[in-house]
Structure 1
Amino acid sequence: MLTAVVIQSGGTVRVELLAGGGESGEEELISPSKCLFEPETEEARTAEKISPEECGPGPSPIMPEMKELAWGAGAFVVFALLMRFFLFPRLKRGMDARYNSIREGHENADAARSSARSEVAQYEAAVASAKADAAKVVDAARATLESERQAKIAEANSRINAKREAALRDAEAARGAVRGQIESAVTDVVTSAVEAATGKRPDASAVSRAVADTMSAGVR
């Protein structure tokens, strides 16, 4: 009967097929040091020769060993401590700085918005004041122009009235002069006519009064 035995020698691993010990069925014994995995029992580890079946079965492919669990737990504890006392505080400081920067940016934006609104309100107030001042200036200019126009109209009317009165006086004087000339001429004609008709020269003053009364009655 052949038995497969895994033997580790130095840095190499080899598999040997061992034949059974004759017809009696005895197995060939090997040294515990030639086992790939250490025997599980103390008796097998201290014996000089053991059967290949007494070699250790090796680690489980599913269940980790205690030292692996210990190393994993230790690494996790170290990582947790690093996170708690070094990495997380730095991350938190960075997040706080980022948050403070964003909040400061929002506050600056709000302040700039408020300042812009205040400047817009001041600008609108200045525009309204300028419009009011311009309206006052326009009204004052209109009032000045109106007063100047009224003054010029009054001055023109005064000049027109003065010229009219002067023209009336001149016309009255001219009419008086013409009337006197007409009265004198009519008086001369009437005197000549009466003298020719009666042979006597009439009274000049009486003829003048009669002519004046007649002309006055005709003018009315």
Structure 2
Amino acid sequence: MLTSTVISAAEESVNPLIPTIPDLVWGTLAFVIVLAFFFWKILPAMNKALDARREAIEGGIQRAEEAQAKATAALEEYTAKLAEARGEAGTIRDQARADGAKIVAEAKETAQAEAARVTANAQAQIEAERQSTLVSLRSEVGTLALDLAGGVIGESLTEDKRAQSVVDRFLAELEESEKASK
């Protein structure tokens, strides 16, 4: 029987490119089963994976947009704080200049007051020394004048009150002429 099948197969001319009917039926049935399995199991899993990937991408984009918005807000806040700090620094600088000018003015005023006090003390001291010198000179000039007058006259004039008044009057006239020349 085997030999008869082989002989009959050899006698028939079979085209290898054209499938036989049972091969077509079984091939179609296998294809439908694989296609049904693909639509039932593989396609939903692929769609699920693609949906997850799409959601991940959309979520990433959304997170990136949120991060961009936060960065923009932080930049605006930083810029506002920087402008505020610059304004505050300008105010502090102006206040420091005003305080410095005030301190300089106070120091000048204190220095002028101290100079005026020192000048007043010096003037008072000079005046006191002048008065002391004047009193000393008056007595010495008076004594010298009387001695000189006594030498010219040949008599002693030291005891006479009149001689003392003449000397005082002479010195007073001398002082008046000195004040008038100034």
**Normalised by the size of structure 2, how large is the TM-score?**
0.75
- Return the alpha-carbon distance in structure 2 between the equivalents of residues 82 and 62 of structure 1: 28
Letter in 2 for 1:217: S
Greater length-normalized contact order (CA 8 Å, ≥ 6 residues apart) = 2
Structure 2 unaligned residues grouped into runs of 5+: none
Q: Does 1:212 align with 2:172?
A: yes
Runs of 4+ in 1 over 6 A off after TM superposition: none
Instruction: From 77, 95, 105, give the equivalent of 2:32.
Output: 77
Letter in 1 for 2:135: G
Instruction: From 180, 187, 212, give the equivalent of 2:142.
Output: 187
Letter in 1 for 2:77: Q
Deviates more, 1:62-71 or 1:117-126: 117-126
Instruction: From 63, 74, 92, give the equivalent of 2:18.
Output: 63
- Whose helix fraction is larger, Structure 1's or Structure 2's? 2
Letter in 2 for 1:115: K
**Aligned partners of 1:183 and 1:212 also within 8 Å:** no
Alignment of 1:1-220 (within 5 A): 8-9=1-2, 13=3, 34-36=4-6, 57=12, 59-198=14-153, 201=157, 203-218=163-178, 220=181
Computed over aligned residues only, the root mean square deviation of the Cα atoms, in angstroms, reads: 3.0
Structure 1 unaligned residues grouped into runs of 5+: 1-7, 14-33, 40-54
> What secondary structure does 1:60 align onto?
coil
Question: CA offsets per residue over residues 112-134 of structure 1, 9 Å max, x none?
Answer: 23223322332343344334434
Letter in 1 for 2:49: G
> What secondary structure does 2:12 align onto?
coil
Deviates more, 1:185-194 or 1:175-184: 185-194
Q: How many corresponding residue pairs?
A: 175
